[in-house]
Structure 1
Amino acid sequence: MDVVAGILGIEAEKAENQVKHLKVRVFECREPSYKAFKLGLAACVLLALAHAIGNLVGGCVCIWSKEDLNRETANKQLAVASLIFSWIVLAVAFSMLMVGTLSNSKSRRTCWIAHHRLLSIGGVLCFIHGLFTVAYFVSAEATRKEDRMMVLQQRQRAQGQEHA
């Protein structure tokens, strides 16, 4: 979904650049592009869905303190770092896509400060978000496997001590 959102963001930028515009220094007067609006909105929705699904499928990997972070395995540390970075990239990408999308709303027919490249940069950030989300999912799964193995080993030790 992140890949599709990224492609839609880039396509929205292309559609935005096809409308007539007049630029005077930092101000730009142009007609809004309905196609860019639709593509940008679709990119926003897909990005949000990809993030929600990635977090639901990845589950909850929580670390409550710095001491916990230092004690945890590399997989769990990677999961937490990936989760944090995916939220940061989501915030930036979603903001850029929304500002670019809203600048193409039908109600925007005035001159404003130019917002060039917001849709395409937001689209590229969707790809980066996808990488962090996949890294989160993979490391969260590895963490769960490690936790199951640790519980199994503790049970085996406990059973071994009972028989001795």
Structure 2
Amino acid sequence: MVNKGVGAVVCIFIMALDITAGFLGIKAEGAQNQEKHLRLWLFECKEPSQEAFRLGCVAILLLIVAHVLANLLSGCTACSQDQTHKGSLWRQLSLLSFIFTWVIVAVGLGALVIGTKANHKSNASCGLSHHHFLSIGGILCIVHGIFSILYYVTATASLD
């Protein structure tokens, strides 16, 4: 059984990582938008933003750390297929939130990587617009935090 005080600290820490990653992703979007842009339909020519690149990299790192910690500290209650089908409601909710965290981290991480990579080049580039990827990734970081906490709570509750 997990101590409630320790559980609360773990939840707060994971949520803090995800919220910080989310705000950094949104702030990176703002830094990217301050650079010179020339846009024609789906194509865009822009100067890359080093600040957006750095903020995006930190957001990616924090999202990965939050996801790894949420999965390691929650244990793998959803790993056994026999126990999942015959398991309690907590175990089934744990499995559902586990799946959602993986889907959200995949999409959010992908959006952050695309937005960050667009700001990596040292000179101006033209191509398909990568507009809003950083803010979408940032928002998904916050959503990931919510589902990570749900996973942690349901996984530890199913152990009782």
Category of TM-score, reference length = shorter chain: 0.7 to 0.9
Q: Does 1:109 align with 2:128?
A: no
Q: Does 1:99 align with 2:114?
A: yes
Equivalent position of 1:156 in the other structure: none
For this pair of structures, how many residues does the alignment match? 144
Equivalent position of 1:158 in the other structure: none
Residue 144 (structure 1) shift: 1.0
Equivalent position of 2:30 in the other structure: 14
Equivalent position of 1:153 in the other structure: none
Structure 2: any 5+ residue segments left out of the alignment? 1-16
Q: Does 1:132 align with 2:147?
A: yes
So what's the TM-score if we normalise by structure 1? 0.84
Residue 27 (structure 1) shift: 0.9
Residue 63 (structure 1) shift: 4.6
Q: Secondary structure at the match of 2:45?
A: strand
Runs of 4+ in 1 over 4 A off after TM superposition: none
Equivalent position of 1:44 in the other structure: 60
Q: Which entry has the higher C-alpha Rg, 1 or 2?
A: 1
Distance (Å, rounded) in 2 between the aligned partners of 1:43 and 1:118: 13
Q: 1:12 to 1:26 in 2, by over 3 A?
A: same
Over the aligned positions, Cα root-mean-square deviation in angstroms equals: 1.3
Residue 106 (structure 1) shift: 2.8
- What fraction of aligned residue pairs are identical, expressed as a percent? 44
So what's the TM-score if we normalise by structure 2? 0.86
Q: Which amino acid aligns with 1:126?
A: C
Structure 1: any 5+ residue segments left out of the alignment? 146-164
